[in-house]
Structure 1
Amino acid sequence: MRINKRTLYMFNSISALLAVLGITVFIISCKVTSWAKTIEQIKLGDLEIFKVHTLTINIFAGCSIILFILTTLLLLRTVRRNSTKVITVLSLILSILIGTYVILFLFLYQNLDELIRINHLVYQPKQIDQSTAEKIKLLYTDVEEIKINTPDNTNLYGWLIKNSSVKEAPLLIYFGGSSEEVSDMISIVDDLDGWSVALINYRSYGLSEGQPSMRSLYNDANSIYDYFSKRSDIDTKKIVSMGYSLGTGVAVNLSSERSTVGTILVSPYDNYSKLKGKSLSNALQLHNMFPLSYFIGESYHSIQKASLIRTPLLCLAGDLDKNIPIAYSKNLVANWGGEKTMKTMYRDDHYFIFRSGEAWNEIKSFLKVL
């Protein structure tokens, strides 16, 4: 029985599609197996199915590839000219490569948010119990417990450290890192003379309710600002937004949407999705083969807002910071719309803010001139 060219082309196209799927699932199963062996701390979620059914998937992949080779050989037998045969083979190979890459990318994109969430690659909530809050109240007499109810009826909890005896004190609002419970900062900012300091935990951090997301943190920061700007003991003309690491994106957004007199950023990034895309690619051993940063929802795209802010900036960054390389911080500072000062903490890593007296002297000097 002879098969006409049209039928053969159709059959070859179907086998090529099956080959793309086969190669794709084979690569995914091999990669998932590799992750399971070498990166035990990475949780895989729905991708675990590729580890469980590796043998079945590999058999399907092998059969698909064999079918594609056979149909391609049949197709080449119907092609008479050698030049046409070469073009046919090259076209099929290119189609396989492009198709496999596209499907791999779409598959990874589909699972990206889940991988980020279950591995706590953006938010790493640290909670405390009520007894810890009671101890803080006993240890620090100049600290007021704060509860803020947000427009979506979520309660945020934290503290106001009162370092000023004036009737209307200037206020520093601090936003912490991805794994920071802000009560750790009370003893550090307790001697920030002349400035009250607001330390309010993100959603699901400390005693705060809810689940964190970029949009909720942005809105919560505005709610924190609005709450304190209505208090009679706060000088509404002298409110400064300060962020560390993840919190720099929140601080930048607040300064772009509310009237702050200045901004302090410690270990900031220009675009969090670019940073996380690179770290995720490295963690999953993808070697930057896919543009992950364009599809990470929690983008905190600070550089887009930096040029719109006209108030002064103080940026502190460690030259040995591996979490947020100093180049990211410099890029953000270069695009700042107002007066800007960048101080490099030499021979310091990502955590200098918790131990460096030099860094806090820079912060105190900056606050004095505002």
Structure 2
Amino acid sequence: MCDAPRHKFAALRGIERKQSRASVLSVSRAGLNGAPCLQCDVERHEMHYYAERGNENMHTPESRVGAERWHGSDVTMKTTRKPHLKLLGLFTLLFALTGCSSMLFYPEQGVPFTPDKARLHYQDVNLTAADGTRLHGWWLPARQGVPVKGTVLHLHGNGGNLSWHLGGVWWLPEQGYQVLMLDYRGYGESQGQPSLPAVYQDVQAAFDWLNTAPQVQGKPLVVLGQSIGGALAVHYLSEHPQERSRLKALVLDSVPASYRSVARNSLSKSWLTWPLKTPLSWLIPEADSAVNGLPRLAGTPMLIFHSMDDTLVPLANGIELYKAAPPPRVLQLTRGEHVQTFADPLWRQVMLRYLDDPTHFNGLRRLAEVPNYPTPATPPAQ
């Protein structure tokens, strides 16, 4: 396990760590159940928005979290070649010393708000990983009076915690799906420090809970993995066929095909680390990447969401995953920023229709069906 200080990672990436001010979260429930809008004051203490999860904030049906986005800090250096070489060497050494799987995770501790702020019923869930690490999660039951269709295990991206990823699942309970949201070790109220392979114990703890919870038994089970959470899901399921056999479907949203590709993309953001993006990325573990695990998921229906506008995890990742995945699988192109898929009601409906019949639904295939897709220019008449 690598427990290197987080400020070293931020320095490497040229990210200026700032403490955010208290902000106001506006959660609009209009259009959901006819209830009036709810205004919640949420103080976010020391919420540092790293580049790789700057877009993974909670989104709601009508509005998204009013969150400040911090940009990379300016770096002032002498222009002589020798200082440049020294600094590059320093960053290379720093990366080599801290270049481990924990660099893939950027947790935030504490829970600034809970689902009841969005008028969702929930229960706190306390889990224990195999190594004794205590974990925290949320259980969102299906809306009262709605027949239960199944259970969704949600594995979120690598930044923030449960609070900032509620936007990926808030809409499921009213559609009859009960949801277990998991915070990995080091995130929110979960103990420990995140790293590979330790985080897979957290996923196992979630499955252990689902295997014994009375309200889950006899109902279809779906795994929804967003961003890094999808990569964790793929590798875990590839190593645990007994858990995979229980799944009705696996839904992947904005998932990187390769951990190293994420590292290269991140390192390319700074002129200081750009020349070293390829050699430094080789320090990131690659064996657990989603593209390597997918071929072993034969027989598991998969829906792969990926946005044509995603600059953090470009569309090429989704295409690579689709090629690696055995049938039955569907690649659904979307629009919008990274992990903002379910901010659009259209993609929520696509997922619901898919879950009704995972083996036959083939998604929206024509780009003309995708909202805001640019219409090709018509050539002038001859």
Q: Tell me the TM-score normalized by structure 1.
A: 0.64
Please state how far the C-alpha of 1:298 moved relative to its aligned partner. Answer: 6.9
1:291 corresponds in structure 2 to 279
1:337 corresponds in structure 2 to 326
Please state how far the C-alpha of 1:369 moved relative to its aligned partner. Answer: 1.7
Q: How does 1:164-183 map to 2 (within 5 A)?
A: 170-183=150-163
1:252 corresponds in structure 2 to 234
1:215 corresponds in structure 2 to 197
1:155 corresponds, among 105, 118, 134, to 134
Query: CA offsets per residue over residues 166-194 of structure 1, 9 Å max, x none?
Result: 89862111111111322344466343222
1:364 corresponds in structure 2 to 352
The answer to whether the 8 Å contact 1:174/1:242 transfers is: yes
User: Structure 1 residues 210-219 or 137-146, which shifts more?
Assistant: 137-146
For structure 1, the 5+ residue unaligned runs are 1-34, 43-50, 60-99
In the aligned structure 1, how far is the partner of 2:133 from the partner of 2:356? 35
For 1:307, what is the secondary structure of its paired residue? helix
2:95 corresponds in structure 1 to 111
2:250 corresponds, among 263, 287, 304, to 263
1:242 corresponds in structure 2 to 224
Higher helix share: 1
Please state how far the C-alpha of 1:140 moved relative to its aligned partner. Answer: 4.5
The answer to whether the 8 Å contact 1:183/1:199 transfers is: no
**RCO higher in 1 or 2 (8 Å CA, sep ≥ 6)?**
2
The two structures, once aligned, show a CA RMSD in angstroms of 3.7
2:311 corresponds in structure 1 to 322
1:145 corresponds in structure 2 to 124
Please state how far the C-alpha of 1:281 moved relative to its aligned partner. Answer: 4.5
2:187 corresponds in structure 1 to 205
Please state how far the C-alpha of 1:197 moved relative to its aligned partner. Answer: 0.7
Please state how far the C-alpha of 1:106 moved relative to its aligned partner. Answer: 12
Q: How does 1:37-116 map to 2 (within 5 A)?
A: 39=14, 41=16, 108=92, 111-112=95-96, 114=98
In structure 2, give the amino acid aligned to 1:108: T
2:24 corresponds in structure 1 to none
Query: CA offsets per residue over residues 145-169 of structure 1, 9 Å max, x none?
Result: 1000111111111111111668986
Whichever of the two has the greater Rg, that structure is 1
Query: Residues 289 and 132 of structure 1: is their aligned pair in 2 closer, same or farther, counting only changes over 3 Å?
Result: closer
Please state how far the C-alpha of 1:265 moved relative to its aligned partner. Answer: 0.6
For structure 2, the 5+ residue unaligned runs are 1-9, 18-74, 359-382
The answer to whether the 8 Å contact 1:253/1:305 transfers is: yes
In the aligned structure 2, how far is the partner of 1:110 from the partner of 1:186? 35
Please state how far the C-alpha of 1:337 moved relative to its aligned partner. Answer: 1.7
Q: Does residue 213 of structure 2 align to residue 225 of structure 1? A: no
Please state how far the C-alpha of 1:223 moved relative to its aligned partner. Answer: 1.5
In the aligned structure 1, how far is the partner of 2:196 from the partner of 2:218? 26
In structure 2, give the amino acid aligned to 1:150: A
Please state how far the C-alpha of 1:110 moved relative to its aligned partner. Answer: 6.8
Please state how far the C-alpha of 1:122 moved relative to its aligned partner. Answer: 2.2
In structure 2, give the amino acid aligned to 1:161: L
In the aligned structure 2, how far is the partner of 1:270 from the partner of 1:116? 18
Query: Residues 40 and 216 of structure 1: is their aligned pair in 2 closer, same or farther, counting only changes over 3 Å?
Result: closer
Query: Residues 238 and 323 of structure 1: is their aligned pair in 2 closer, same or farther, counting only changes over 3 Å?
Result: same
User: Structure 1 residues 232-241 or 290-299, which shifts more?
Assistant: 290-299
